[in-house]
């Protein structure tokens, strides 16, 4: 009963847009990544030389930032998981009629500009804030340690900013668990911790996978947290890419790094999803 031509008519505008502004740029990026500067030309002038060695150069030069991006992203993802899981659990099982309000409250901080929030953290954790002097008074940290301009602050910022991305999928998955399966587990001699390990956690895996992906992917490419809360020692790959576009003009390197970042993420994601064994996320 449905005409065959209709889906294609509906798809053409949107997919055409995607093709032009997503695929084409990526192809262009790939194409840029193998270019080299024109000898004797102005900055910003490149020619296509199919120099695949660009990839090796860029990787060697920036392997520190590469490693750091993935390290920070992993730590932030793990921390976010640790913080969000109990929260999602609390909302799903103890929320009662306030569930929806609580969900709104999880997402609400998002409505304040993400930059304002990050800068707020910078000021709260900075010299003029109240956290550092308090910790110093109690002797928890020494006079010379600062919380901002540090890896700690960057990871903390990332963890904070991506919390809603972690919490919502977790909640969706945990909420689906029939509480009677937990009761059954108790009936069959499992204590609280064992029930969590053997019943709750496995049943919530789809949410864990979705949440960790939605957190890790943007985190790996992030540079704002590093820029605001970090220092030159905490530069991530994103910072390098940004500077190669705007400060030191070096498009091929920027292209290489972007591509490598994307490829690395795609590979990690594919391996991860296959290992965790879940169905479609979309």
Using CB under 8 A as the binding rule, the residues of this chain from 99 to 118 that contact other proteins are 100-102, 104-118
Q: Which of 36, 269, 272, 278 binds other proteins (CB under 8 A)?
A: 269
Q: Which of 147, 155, 168, 261 binds other proteins (CB under 8 A)?
A: 261
Least spacing, CB of residue 45 vs other proteins, in Å: 12
Least spacing, CB of residue 120 vs other proteins, in Å: 4
HSE (side-chain half, CA atoms, 13 Å) at 232: 0
Indicate whether 136 belongs to the interface with other proteins (CB under 8 A): no
Q: Which of 38, 56, 201, 266 binds other proteins (CB under 8 A)?
A: 266
Residues 272, 104: contact at Cβ < 8 Å? no
Choose between 142 and 208: whose C-beta lies nearer to other proteins: 208
Choose between 142 and 147: whose C-beta lies nearer to other proteins: 147
Task: Find tokens 């976010």 and name the residue.
Answer: 80
Q: Which of 50, 90, 201, 271 binds other proteins (CB under 8 A)?
A: 90
Q: Which stretch binds other proteins (CB under 8 A): 25-33, 147-155, 170-178, 202-210?
A: 25-33
Q: Would you call 93 exposed, middle or buried from its count of C-beta atoms within 10 A (0-12, 13-18, 19+)?
A: middle
Choose between 76 and 261: whose C-beta lies nearer to other proteins: 261
Distance of CA 259 to the CA centre of its chain: 17
Type and span of the H or E element at 47: strand 46-48
Ordered alpha helix ranges (H), 125-150: 131-137
- Which residues have C-beta within 8 Å of that of residue 36, sequence separation ≥ 6? 46, 47, 49, 51, 54, 252
- Residues 198-217 interacting with other proteins (rule: CB under 8 A): 213, 217
Residues 103, 168: contact at Cβ < 8 Å? yes
Least spacing, CB of residue 71 vs other proteins, in Å: 16
- Residues 47-86 interacting with other proteins (rule: CB under 8 A): 83, 86
Give the Cα separation of 147 and 152 in Å (integer): 7
Indicate whether 265 belongs to the interface with other proteins (CB under 8 A): yes
Give the Å distances, CA to CA, from 258 to 58, 224, 248, 252, 281. Answer: 11, 16, 16, 10, 24
Q: Which of 154, 223, 234, 250 binds other proteins (CB under 8 A)?
A: 223
- Residues 150-169 interacting with other proteins (rule: CB under 8 A): 160, 163
Indicate whether 140 belongs to the interface with other proteins (CB under 8 A): no
Choose between 139 and 246: whose C-beta lies nearer to other proteins: 246
Ordered alpha helix ranges (H), 4-48: 5-18, 24-33
Task: Find tokens 């910078």 and name the residue.
Answer: 122
Q: Which stretch binds other proteins (CB under 8 A): 50-58, 123-131, 144-152, 197-205?
A: 123-131
């Amino acid at each position: 009963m449905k005409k065959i031509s209709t889906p294609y008519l509906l798809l053409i505008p949107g997919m055409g847009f995607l093709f032009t502004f997503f695929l084409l740029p990526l192809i262009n990026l790939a194409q840029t990544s193998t270019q080299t500067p024109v000898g004797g030309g102005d900055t910003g002038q490149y020619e296509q030389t199919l120099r695949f060695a660009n990839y090796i150069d860029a990787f060697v030069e920036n392997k520190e930032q590469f490693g750091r991006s993935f390290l920070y992203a992993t730590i932030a993802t793990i921390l976010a998981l640790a913080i969000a899981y109990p929260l999602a659990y609390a909302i799903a099982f103890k929320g009662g009629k306030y569930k929806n309000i609580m969900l709104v409250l999880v997402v609400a901080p998002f409505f304040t500009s993400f930059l304002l929030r990050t800068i707020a953290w910078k000021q709260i954790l900075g010299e003029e804030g109240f956290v550092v002097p308090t910790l110093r008074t109690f002797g928890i940290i020494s006079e010379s340690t600062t919380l901002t301009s540090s890896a700690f602050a960057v990871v903390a910022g990332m963890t904070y900013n991506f919390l809603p991305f972690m919490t919502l999928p977790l909640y969706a998955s945990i909420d689906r668990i029939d509480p009677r399966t937990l009761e059954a587990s108790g009936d069959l001699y499992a204590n609280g911790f064992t029930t969590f390990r053997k019943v709750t956690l496995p049943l919530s895996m789809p949410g864990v996978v979705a949440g960790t992906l939605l957190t890790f992917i943007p985190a790996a490419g992030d540079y704002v947290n590093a820029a605001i809360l970090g220092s030159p020692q905490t530069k991530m790959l994103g910072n390098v890419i940004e500077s190669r576009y705007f400060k030191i003009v070096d498009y091929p390197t920027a292209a290489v790094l972007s591509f490598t970042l994307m490829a690395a993420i795609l590979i990690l994601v594919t391996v991860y999803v296959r290992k965790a064994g879940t169905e479609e996320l979309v």
